[in-house]
């Protein structure tokens, strides 16, 4: 992209202090662990050369995956880029690669471990790269809710559905209870299938994807959905509410997409006449309703590829991706939906020093930060993932 001009300007209002990456712990992240090794200094002018040399030395033994929300400095070393499911599939399609270096977050590396060969090792360059949404659904809480549904006598009517953005534990729970995993691309198909199996869906962990899909794509009323809060007795719901509900939504959300508001949409429409508002379905319901288009990360990329020159787009998703899209489309006006910075702080923990450290450790014969899912959990999670792959 060198030499490309762009209309992109960094949002100026940055109310949140960004964390020192790779150092200490992140109180807002669920994992909060230090790097176990000596990280190169971020100011080291040789970082790019070191990463290039280490990757070349490893050759086909290593396969580097880069999620769309990763920083440019990391993405440049990715063998393939994509959303979480595409990357897990890509990892599975490379059985000869000894090491899968996953530049993304923890639940993605777990999915890659589930789908790859036992001999392959999946590595997360910074173990503090978690996902706040995934961590909003803890297995013990979910099992407590399920026991309550059993006590109410409704559990046989319920099909559990979990978004890809969940821990392996939760995918395993869904698999052993005859449910399905979904992505933001196939959520409607997953719900269609689920409502053929039962009369209710228990949707984990992203309330917004569940609500937006049910109401905007399947014609449900908002009243058909109830919100189960794991921090309240019985989810904060009465027995009647649970018995009547068709969608039982877990109270989880993405801290990045949840920041966009209806005011963001109003403000950009006033500022940029004719702008197209394009958002991810992890955004709040009222934001998705006010947008012109809604779709997954891959959908957003395709929509901008297909957009005519001169068109204006305000995009409601993670900032690294929006900025790259703006640079890739200098003939279009691509802007971030909100004026405030909205990086995913945990995605951003994977920086060039962590990648260099990881690759150089591998060259030295040490395998750091391996992500493994135990065999029972992996087996049950695979059932739910296979059900997703078998969706009509
Ligand atoms: S963008 Fe949201 S869902 Fe994605 S990793 Fe970050 S917190 Fe999780």
Percent of the chain with pLDDT over 90: 84
Residue 301 in tokens: 């990329």
Query: What is the average pLDDT score of the chain?
Result: 91
Q: Which residues of 144-176 are buried (b: 16+ CB within 10 A; e: fewer)?
A: ebbebbeeeebbeebbbbbbbbbbbbbbbbbbb
CA of 344 to the centre of ligand 1 (A): 6
CA of 5 to the centre of ligand 1 (A): 29
Pocket test for ligand 1, best of 26, 107, 131 (most atoms within 8 A of CB): 131
Instruction: State the DSSP code for 258.
Output: G
pLDDT for 250 equals 98
Q: Which atom of ligand 1 is nearest to the CA of 165?
A: 3
Angle at alpha carbon of residue 178, lines to 384 and 169, rounded to 5°: 50
- Tell me: pLDDT of 383 over 60: yes
**Does 324 or 16 have the greater pLDDT score?**
324
- Tell me: pLDDT of 3 over 60: no
Pocket test for ligand 1, best of 255, 296, 342 (most atoms within 8 A of CB): 255
Q: Which atom of ligand 1 is nearest to the CA of 69?
A: 1
103/67 Cα distance (integer angstroms): 6
Q: Which residues line ligand 1 (CB under 6 A)?
A: 69, 105, 131-133, 165, 254-256, 318, 344, 346-347
* Residue whose C-alpha is closest to residue 173's, from 133, 204, 199, 194: 204
pLDDT for 86 equals 87
H-helix segments, 76-206: 84-92, 106-115, 139-152, 168-176, 187-197
Average pLDDT of the residues in 15-40: 52
CA of 207 to the centre of ligand 1 (A): 14
CA of 64 to the centre of ligand 1 (A): 20
- Residues 6 or more apart in contact with residue 200 via CB below 8 angstroms: 154, 157, 158, 159, 245, 246, 247, 248
- Predicted TM-score (pTM) of the model is 0.89
Residue 276, H or E segment = strand 276-279
- Residues 6 or more apart in contact with residue 243 via CB below 8 angstroms: 152, 154
| pLDDT tens digits, 132-175 | 999 999 999 999 999 999 999 999 999 999 999 999 999 999 99
Instruction: Indicate which residue's Cα is closest to atom 2 of ligand 1.
Output: 254
């Amino acid at each position: 992209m060198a030499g490309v001009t762009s209309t992109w300007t960094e949002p100026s209002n940055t109310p949140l202090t960004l964390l020192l990456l790779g150092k200490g712990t992140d109180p807002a992240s669920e994992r909060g662990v230090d790097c176990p090794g000596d990280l190169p200094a971020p100011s080291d002018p040789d970082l790019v050369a070191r990463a290039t040399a280490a990757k070349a030395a490893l050759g086909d033994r290593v396969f580097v995956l880069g999620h769309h929300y990763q920083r440019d400095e990391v993405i440049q070393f990715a063998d393939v880029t994509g959303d979480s499911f595409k990357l897990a599939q890509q990892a599975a399609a490379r059985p000869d690669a000894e090491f899968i270096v996953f530049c993304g977050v923890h639940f993605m590396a777990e999915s890659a471990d589930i789908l790859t060969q036992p001999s392959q090792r999946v590595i997360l360059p910074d173990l503090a790269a978690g996902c706040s949404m995934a961590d909003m659904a803890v297995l013990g809480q979910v099992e407590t809710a399920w026991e309550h549904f059993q006590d109410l006598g409704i559990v046989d009517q319920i099909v559990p559905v979990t978004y890809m953005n969940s821990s392996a534990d939760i995918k395993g729970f869904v698999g052993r209870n005859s449910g399905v995993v979904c992505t933001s691309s196939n959520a409607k198909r997953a719900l269609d299938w689920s409502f053929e199996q039962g009369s209710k869906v228990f949707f984990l962990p992203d309330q917004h994807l569940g609500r937006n899909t049910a109401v905007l794509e399947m014609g449900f009323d908002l009243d058909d959905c109830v919100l189960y809060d794991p921090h309240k007795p019985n989810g904060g719901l009465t027995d009647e509410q649970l018995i009547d509900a068709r969608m039982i939504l877990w109270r989880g959300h993405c801290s990045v997409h949840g920041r966009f508001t209806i005011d963001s949409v109003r403000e950009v429409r006033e500022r940029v006449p004719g702008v197209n508002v394009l958002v991810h379905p992890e955004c709040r319901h009222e934001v998705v309703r006010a947008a012109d288009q809604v779709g997954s990360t891959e959908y957003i990329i395709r929509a901008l590829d297909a957009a005519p020159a001169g068109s204006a787009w305000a995009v409601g998703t993670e900032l690294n991706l929006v900025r790259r899209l703006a640079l890739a489309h200098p003939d279009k006006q691509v802007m971030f939906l909100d004026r405030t910075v909205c990086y995913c702080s945990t995605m951003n923990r994977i920086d060039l020093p962590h990648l260099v450290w990881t690759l150089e450790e591998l060259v030295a014969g040490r395998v750091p930060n391996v992500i493994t899912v135990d065999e029972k959990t992996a087996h049950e999670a695979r059932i739910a993932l296979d059900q997703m792959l078998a969706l009509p």
